[in-house]
Amino acid sequence: MVLVVIVSILLILLFVRIAVTQDMRTVNRNRISDYLLEYSALYTQSGLSGVKKVFETSQQMGRNALRLTTAYGQVIDEDIPVIMASYVWPEQTQKSLLVKGDMELTEVMSADGSQKIYLGAIRLDDGNTLWIGRTDAQTRRQMTNIERHLWFAGLTASLIAFLPVIWYLHDVLRPIQSFIRSAERMRLPGNKARLKAPGAIPELQALATVVNSGLDQIQALTRELQSTNDFLAHELRTPLARVRGNLEHFHDQTENVEAREAAARSLEEIDRATQLVHTLLTIRAGDHAALRLHRQVTSLDDLLSKLVELFSPAAEDKQLSLSLEASLSMTLNVDRELLTQAVSNLLDNALAYTPAGGQIIVHWQGEGTGAIISVKDTGPGLHPDEIEGIWDRYARGTAARPKISGMGLGLSLVRSIAMAHGGNAGAQNRQSKGATFWIYIPGA
């Protein structure tokens, strides 16, 4: 906007200057024409002496010049001031002045091109040519004064034009930037930030109010849905345990082979449902820092070595290379069972998404008094817009649909376990191919 204002004012100043210059040029040429008509009439009545007498009377500050030549350019008489002596007058007119009163106007530049004189020639009744010259000194002084006023007007107009720009910056752009910062904070898990528009125009304040109202409604619905999920998950544990006990009793007591097989399949489904309920409750407790941890001093290299050994057969079946990058031996005070579950989920994902012939690497390194455990794969990687969203409950990346089954709870469980330990979990794409998923566990 500032650039538009500056360019517009400069264009206006340039246009005005060009217009004034053309008008002043026209005025000077008209004045030369008037002089020629006046002096030609005096020449007819009083001859050259009458012309020179009037010329000397009207001469001011040596701005005008007079010359009388024959039709062939021979000078009969001339009165040229010193300031105009350096100009080269044409010997003849560019066009033939054949009839009395024929007139020609022209301009002659100085040697350095900084000044000029306006020349006019008229055919007299005796065949001679009368020349009148006039410097542009007065015109240049007037133009200097006009340009000074134009610049003053331009600067004044710029200051006035910048007022709406400043208003736009303060009342429109700054609130929008505040919106952006608020929206960035909204992306953080569990953040309750809202759009703020201090000092904004009424339209932006109304927009912030509408958006915040919508966000409040969404948060209330989300809270209600999460509470419902938690309630259902909590209430389902006992019925599932009873059903499982009854099926186990039925399985053990019946002699019917088909009934025993059906009971066994039902027990497997109940175990899956029980595991799902347990996962939901663990995620919820981790999100609210209410997950109980049974900490014990655990050797990371021992825990990860056993996990790699456990998952190696599955990796071989899928023609994948699963390895452990050895690092400095270190111990952490963690919940060994939960941490094992978190790393196992990352390994499950890596096995599911890495194509045959790929490579999976498990690595850990010290970070302050804690550690970062990472699982690297050579799979399809992550879409940039999904790097943060895949950690939400029931969220799945585009690579997962529709090839791989699941409910999108694995990564959410991983982050909840990490946050319960006071850490975090994340992911990023590798430079070559694939992605790296990491868990940060701080020192207790």
pLDDT tens digits along 213-223: 888 887 787 67
Q: How far apart are CA 341 and CA 326, in angstroms?
A: 21
pLDDT band at 309 (very low <50, low <70, confident <90, very high): very high
Residue reference for tokens 């992911």: 427
- Choose the weakest-confidence range: 177-181, 209-213, 428-432: 177-181
State residue 402's pLDDT score. Answer: 45
Q: Which residues touch 419 (CB under 8 Å, ≥6 apart)?
A: 286, 287, 289, 425
Tokens of 246: 């009854």
- At 86, is the secondary structure helix, strand, or coil? coil
Q: Where in the chain is the domain with CATH 3.30.450?
A: 2-143
CA dihedral 92, 93, 98, 104 (to 10 degrees): -150
User: Could you tell me the sign of the dihedral formed by the alpha carbons of 8, 14, 18, 24, in that order?
Assistant: positive
Is the entire prediction scored with pTM above 0.75? no
Reduced DSSP (H G I as helix, E B as strand, rest coil) percent helix, strand, coil of the chain, to 5: 55, 20, 25
Mean pLDDT of 218-237: 69
Tokens of 331: 């111990």
**Residues linked to residue 68 through DSSP beta bridges, in sequence order:** 77, 130
Mean pLDDT of 50-71: 82
Q: How far apart are CA 251 and CA 272, in angstroms?
A: 18
State residue 307's pLDDT score. Answer: 92
Mean pLDDT of 378-402: 74
Q: Does domain 202-287 have CATH number 3.90.1200?
A: no
Decide if pLDDT at 289 tops 80: no
Q: How far apart are CA 154 and CA 353, in angstroms?
A: 66
Beta strands at 424-429 and 435-441: parallel, antiparallel or unpaired = antiparallel
∠ CA(426), CA(430), CA(435), 5° rounding?
50
Residue reference for tokens 């109202």: 213
pLDDT band at 396 (very low <50, low <70, confident <90, very high): low
How high is the mean pLDDT of the chain?
82
Select the more confidently predicted residue: 8 or 385: 8
The proportion of the chain whose per-residue pLDDT surpasses 90, expressed as a percent, equals 16
394: left (phi over 0), alpha (psi -120 to 50) or beta: left
State residue 96's pLDDT score. Answer: 74
Select the more confidently predicted residue: 239 or 397: 239
356: left (phi over 0), alpha (psi -120 to 50) or beta: beta
Decide if pLDDT at 72 tops 60: yes
Maximum average pLDDT range among 168-172, 326-330, 369-373: 369-373
State residue 439's pLDDT score. Answer: 93
Q: Where in the chain is the domain with CATH 1.10.287?
A: 202-287
Peptide linkage before 402 cis (omega within 30 of 0): yes
Radius of gyration from C-alpha coordinates of the chain: 48
Q: How far apart are CA 199 and CA 349, in angstroms?
A: 49
SS (H, E, C) 116-164: EEEEEEEECCCCCEEEEEEECHHHHHHHHHHHHHHHHHHHHHHHHHHHH
- Choose the weakest-confidence range: 152-156, 239-243, 255-259, 388-392: 239-243
Asked if 439 and 346 touch (Cβ cutoff 8 Å), the reply is yes
State residue 220's pLDDT score. Answer: 80
Q: Does domain 295-441 have CATH number 3.30.465.10?
A: no
Q: How many Å separate Cα 109 from the centre of its chain?
A: 53
Q: What is the pLDDT of residues 167-188, one digit of tens each?
A: 888 788 888 888 788 777 776 5
CA dihedral 406, 410, 413, 414 (to 10 degrees): -170
State residue 311's pLDDT score. Answer: 92
Decide if pLDDT at 404 tops 80: no
pLDDT band at 398 (very low <50, low <70, confident <90, very high): low
Decide if pLDDT at 372 tops 80: yes
Among residues 137, 88, 92, 78, the alpha carbon closest in space to that of 108 is found at 88
pLDDT band at 405 (very low <50, low <70, confident <90, very high): low
Q: Residue type for 66, please?
A: L
Q: Where in the chain is the domain with CATH 3.30.565.10?
A: 295-441
∠ CA(149), CA(151), CA(155), 5° rounding?
120
State residue 189's pLDDT score. Answer: 53
The CATH code of domain 2-143 reads 3.30.450
